[in-house]
Amino acid sequence: MSSPVPGKIPQHVAIIMDGNGRWAKSRGLPRLEGHRRGVETVRTVVDAARAIGIRYITLYAFSVENWKRPPEEVSGLMGLLDYFLKRELDNLIKNRVRLLTIGRTTDLPANVQRELNRVIAATQDFTEWTLVLALNYGARTEVADAARDYAAAVSAGRENLADASWENFSRYLYTGAAAIPEPDLLIRTSGEQRVSNFLLLQCAYSEMVFTPVAWPDFGHADLQAAVDEYGRRERRYGATTEQLAAAQKSHL
């Protein structure tokens, strides 16, 4: 296996935080305890991302499909989210980490929305590091919302269908509206190898790493291993290796 390219750090890493429930079950613990331990992992990974030099971390925290889970589990997840936001505000401010969200957050409980708005407002001026929480998020829902907003813009004369392009349309995605760059690297923990309706359009050219490590056990070394794997990949975007090499030489 080739060595990672020195200094090749992804600007944006998106993570599907999977395995909390299975982690708990394997230890004879309630599922909610797995989610609680997963919340602790978030701080670990955000700190690790800063140490490695990753500027954006997007975490798939709650999907539009997660409402189908038992009501007591959904209630517990919302309580943990409220707890995380209250606990982490001082830490985010100390480390100058901005919080952003993507998804239909207006459907979340009122107390969670209040905390989200409070933390977002308190960290909005930070630009070096960004934590993005995908909440009540689904890529298909995002596309539907973007298509509605794009159609409204066309109807109002703000967009011209003759100028339709990915660049123009992508501005109406949740990520485009928040000026979040497309992920360079997508990580899924706990062994599953699917993207589960997460950033489907934005990850069109993302490198993907699937790790067997459950989210509660995922730490700095695991994130570094995924970044190292990313450093071994060649991102061609449809070009050939020879074309990339020639382009790199022309910039020297």
Q: Could you list the residues known to form a binding site for substrate, using ranges.
A: 19-23, 31, 35, 63-65, 67, 69, 188, 194-196
For the annotated binding site for Mg(2+), the residues are 18, 207
Burial 194-227 (b: 16+ CB within 10 A, else e): ebebbbebbbeebbbbbbebbbbbbeeebbeebb
- Asked if 64 contacts 136 with a C-beta cutoff of 8 angstroms, the reply is yes
Q: Which of 66, 95, 168, 197 is catalytic?
A: 66
For the annotated binding site, the residues are 18-23, 31, 35, 63-65, 67, 69, 188, 194-196, 207
Residue 18: active-site member: yes
Any residues with CB less than 8 A from the CB of 36 and at least 6 apart, and which?
80
> Cα separation of 100 and 31, whole Å?
27
> Cα separation of 144 and 204, whole Å?
18
Q: Which of 18, 136, 184, 222 is catalytic?
A: 18
- Which are the catalytic amino acids? 18, 66
